[in-house]
Amino acid sequence: MATIRETENAYFKYVKKIMDFNEATALAAWDMRTGSPKKGAGQRAEVIGTLSGEIFNLSTSEDMKHFIDTLSDPGIQSDLSEKTIKSVEESKREYERNVKIPAEEYKEYVILQSKAETVWEDAKAKSDFKMLEPYLDKIVDFKHLFVDYWGHDGNKYNTLLDLYEPGMTVDVIDRVFGQLRDGIIPLVQEVAEAADQPETNFLYKPFPKGQQRAFSIHILKEMGYDFSAGRLDETAHPFQISLNPGDVRVTTHYDEFDFRTAVFGTIHEGGHALYEQNISKDLIGTPLCSGTSMGVHESQSLFFENFVGRNKAFWEQYYDVLKEHAGGQFEHVSVEGYYRAINVAGPSLIRIEADEMTYPLHIIVRYEIEKALFNGDIKVKDLPGVWNEKMEQYLGIKPDHDREGVLQDIHWSGGDFGYFPSYALGYLYAAQFKHTLLKDLPDFDDNLRSGRIRPIREWLTDKIHQYGKLKKPMDILLDVTGEELNAKYLINYLNEKYRDVYHLSRVK
């Protein structure tokens, strides 16, 4: 009979193997996206399939069940470290998610999902929702079925939210998204009508790729991104991927006629990377060694992209460096003019091109649609109509084609219902974190103005990064800010900022 300590050690040895396979899979994925030769792609996909299959087998094995059962025994919890308890919880979450769906059904779903993504590309190109509809119908049916297998507490949609944002519920989101929507819509209106619109022509002048790269590297270093534990590559779509805390990679995309793509993309991914690089080394090899949720992850990227990267004080320090890297495009532009230009905002159709003021509205549209879909209030066939209606209602504009409307994102074709809200939740977390941070570091802007980003990064590491998945999203929020999620911090931030950018009166 093994002692508790022996079982605990055996469990960690077992999950370390899973994490090693995870790292190998992540590397294969990174490699495919950064430059692996296309003729090897078919075989590479099989390698990823083999590794994923192995991870699935290990995560759902009888051995795993035994570890979970033994180490979840309430009688021994007091003998276990917090790391063990939380790791086992995470393994159990994973185990149950995987074993509750019959293998055959899951396989059928994976095949459908992959087909739907291909059909989506085609449907989007042709702006033809009808092509995708039967596939989406089946995907939604499967998701309903999975929710039944997994079980649900209250609203069915809660189970989907929980996949990306553990513990998040419709009740909370309804409350904060409602607050947010009502707070933003009038601001969007005012900004659109503002007399003094920023001059932006100079943004679209040529800025050589090599120079953009050099500036991106400079800014990443200033943010505290550790290049001896990471690297910056170029891809069509920027991303961050963590192999382990000593190897956290970012990519960016260079548009030679709009440097903002690379600069703000790099800062955004750099924010994600700072989270992963600063997780406690003690968690390496456990299921806790990554960001705690999609939303908290996004809070870190948006914190840096918006509160640091689109901050006037930040550019008072770095605008000269940017000028040194660029050609003459900024020659006759003051830092104030530059600051206003990079913060130009207004209603637009495409989520990924939206500014920070209107972005949450794009998410709210998607959230309300997903929730209605999983509560039986609408059908898949209703999606284009409902989409256009809500865009009109919240943003005042309506797409002429579904390509620029309901077909713009791949998420639903991939079955990722419940994912979209985390983008806006991340933004709300970020604003709430920043509000607390200002109490500890009231000279936030002064720090940026003199290039001292370190104390800010250290505060985030101390409060958030280091814990990985040791703390759930809601626990982090409560521990750091002392209160539940509250949209007022983001609303206040947006009001303050955009009144400044658009020269509107301070108080409406």
Active-site positions read: 269
Q: Judged by CB under 8 A, does residue 210 bind a second copy?
A: no
The gap between the terminal CA atoms of the chain, to the nearest Å, is 71
Residues in the chain: 508
Contacts with 347 (C-beta within 8 Å, 6 or more apart), sequence order: 188, 192, 358, 395, 396, 397
Sign for the CA dihedral angle at 366, 372, 377, 381 comes to positive
Based on the shown chain and the rule CB under 8 A, indicate whether residue 21 belongs to the binding site for a second copy.
yes
DSSP string, 237-257: S--EEEEETTEEEEEE---TT
144 annotated to bind ligand: no
Number of residues that bind a second copy (CB under 8 A): 38
From CA 338, how far away is CA 332, in angstroms rounded? 10
Q: What are phi and psi of 143, to 5 degrees?
A: -65, -40
Q: Does 36 bind a second copy (CB under 8 A)?
A: yes
What is the rounded CA–CA span in Å between residue 194 and residue 179? Answer: 23
One of 5, 107, 221, 231 touching a second copy (CB under 8 A): 231
284 touches a second copy by CB under 8 A: yes
Q: Is 227 in the site for a second copy (CB under 8 A)?
A: yes
Q: Contact 455/441 with Cβ under 8 angstroms?
A: yes
| DSSP letter (8 states) at residue 197 | P
The answer to whether 63 contacts a second copy (rule: CB under 8 A) is no
Q: Please report whether residue 29 would count as binding a second copy according to CB under 8 A.
A: no
Q: Which is nearer to a second copy, 46 or 105 (CB)?
A: 46
| CB closer to a second copy out of 36 and 197 | 36
Q: Does 38 bind a second copy (CB under 8 A)?
A: yes
Which span sits near a second copy by CB under 8 A: 20-28, 87-95, 323-331, 405-413? 20-28
- Counting contacts by CB under 8 A, is residue 133 touching a second copy? no
298 is in an annotated binding site: yes
Q: What is the DSSP string of 335-384?
A: HHHHHHHHT-----S-GGG--TTTHHHHHHHHHHHHHHHHTTSS-GGGHH
Structure tokens at 398: 């309506």
Nearer to a second copy, 181 or 465 (CB): 465
CA distance 191 to 344: 10
Check binding of 247 to a second copy (CB under 8 A).
yes
> In angstroms, what is the minimal distance from the CB of 24 to a second copy?
5
x-or-dash string of contact with a second copy, 344-373, rule CB under 8 A: ------------------------------
Among 39, 439, 506, 508, binds a second copy (CB under 8 A): 39
Could you tell me which stretch among 246-254, 257-265, 325-333, 486-494 binds a second copy (CB under 8 A)? 246-254
Binding a second copy (rule: CB under 8 A), the pick from 2, 6, 9, 46 is: 46
Q: Which amino acid is at 294?
A: M
Determine the 3-state secondary structure of 232 from DSSP: strand
Beta bridge pairs of residue 247: 244
Q: How far apart are CA 420 and CA 351, in angstroms?
A: 11
Q: Does 51 bind a second copy (CB under 8 A)?
A: yes
Distances from the Cα of 498 to the Cα of 302, 344, 432, angstroms = 17, 9, 18
Q: Examine residue 42 and tell whether it contacts a second copy (CB under 8 A).
A: yes
Q: Which residues are annotated as a binding site?
A: 268, 272, 298
Q: Which residues are annotated as a binding site for Zn(2+)?
A: 268, 272, 298
Residues found near a second copy in the complex (CB under 8 A): 16-17, 20-21, 23-24, 27-28, 31, 35-44, 46-47, 49-51, 54, 226-231, 243-244, 246-247, 249, 284-285
